[in-house]
Amino acid sequence: MKADFTAKLMKWNRNLNTRAMPWKGEKDPYKIWLSEIILQQTRVEQGLGYYERFIRAFPTVKHLAKAPQKKVFKLWEGLGYYTRCKNLVATAAFISKEKKGIFPADYETILSLKGVGPYTAAAIASFAYNLPHAVLDGNVFRVLSRYFGINTPIDTPAGKKLYTMLAHELLHRKEPGLYNQAIMDFGAVVCKPQQPLCGQCPQKNDCQALKYNIVKDLPIKEKQLKKKNRWLYYFIVEIKKDTVLIRKRTGKDIWENLYEFVLYERNQLLAPGKKTLTPVLKELFGNQLIHIKNISPVFHQQLTHQTIAGQFIELETETIPVTMRGYEAVKKTTIKKYPFPKFISAWLQQKNKPLQLF
């Protein structure tokens, strides 16, 4: 059954797999690494443009290592999960300095790189160097779970151990890179999460999930993600109409290393009305004379583990409030050069449209 699975998968890949991506068949470990980091927690359709722009801007790991961090984060803007970008910068600097710009060529060293886990290390090792390491991503978990009828949760230690052993046993020893790409493509275009093409599947005669009508039930996850709600209110403080206050986000929270305006965070939505802002303005700016120009509608952004909601309040004042330690005053004309999270970028893109009060 296992040998049949691998043989049929490789035959499907040779004759029927038409899935095209710019990094398929790539042997440059730098480009493979870049594509894999971009695709962590990101759909291929969304990641394509980012990959192509990164390769144009930074054709080698040395180019990436030399780039100003702000430029790299600006190019990443909108892709989310910004820890990936932080790790990208750190790893590029490490390879450029400690490895003289030469990407590691063995699995264990690749795995030791910042931001690289077992899946990414296996992908780089097999695609670039044809080393026998099996990949395990969402597509692979789904294919194996359905084909073998496995109901062990994929997010448990027992499940991870079971799937790791099975993936290794199925791996094509002579062409591990080709096999890894084939099984991921198979999960993306045939054994899809929703509406899988079971009728056209070359594995259908031996698929246990199809046999017992449990395709929709597999794979199983034990843990259900609990989402957190956050309400963020951003005050765009304009100094003499041409300067605004921004700061770089630090700490271990969302959007680390990106920029933001003056932030006021609550655990619930503010009640509508300008009167609501009076105590907030006093808390933030003391007794400084502040004029409210505009208040935006409510903006939303859904993250994997958090739901973000909030508004943008445009203010005018003559001098920088003494309470604004940690913020820097920048010209409004230079704002587009700074990397902002998608939540703020969405407002910036709508800024010229009529805004509403609460």
Which residues, listed in sequence order, are joined to residue 312 by a DSSP beta bridge?
234
Which residues, listed in sequence order, are joined to residue 232 by a DSSP beta bridge?
265, 310
Q: Cα(96)–Cα(90) distance, rounded to whole angstroms?
A: 10
Please give the domain boundaries of the chain with CATH numbers for all domains.
Answer: 2-217 (1.10.340.30), 228-350 (3.90.79.10)
Give the residue ranges of the chain where pLDDT is below 70. 224-225, 272-274, 352-358
For residue 250, the model assigns a pLDDT of 87
* SS3 category, 268: coil
Q: Tens of pLDDT along 118-129?
A: 999 999 999 999
| Phi, psi (deg, nearest 5) at residue 97 | -85, -50
For residue 330, the model assigns a pLDDT of 94
Question: For residue 234, which of 249, 224, 221, 223 has the smallest C-alpha distance?
Answer: 249
Eight-state DSSP code of residue 284: H
Kindly name the residue from 26, 36, 265, 283 that is annotated as catalytic.
36
Question: For residue 57, which of 91, 33, 34 has the smallest C-alpha distance?
Answer: 34
For residue 273, the model assigns a pLDDT of 64
* SS3 category, 137: coil
For residue 358, the model assigns a pLDDT of 35
For residue 205, the model assigns a pLDDT of 95
Asked if 314 is an active-site residue, the reply is no
Q: What is the pTM of this model?
A: 0.78
For 76-105, give the DSSP string: HTTS--THHHHHHHHHHHHHHHHSTTPPP-
For residue 354, the model assigns a pLDDT of 45
Question: For residue 13, which of 220, 165, 145, 177 has the smallest C-alpha distance?
Answer: 177
Q: Tens of pLDDT along 149-172?
A: 999 999 999 999 999 999 999 999
> What are the C-alpha distances in Å from 319 to residues 39, 74, 106, 328, 330?
44, 29, 57, 13, 13
State the helix-helix crossing angle for 29-39 and 118-129, rounded to 10 degrees.
150
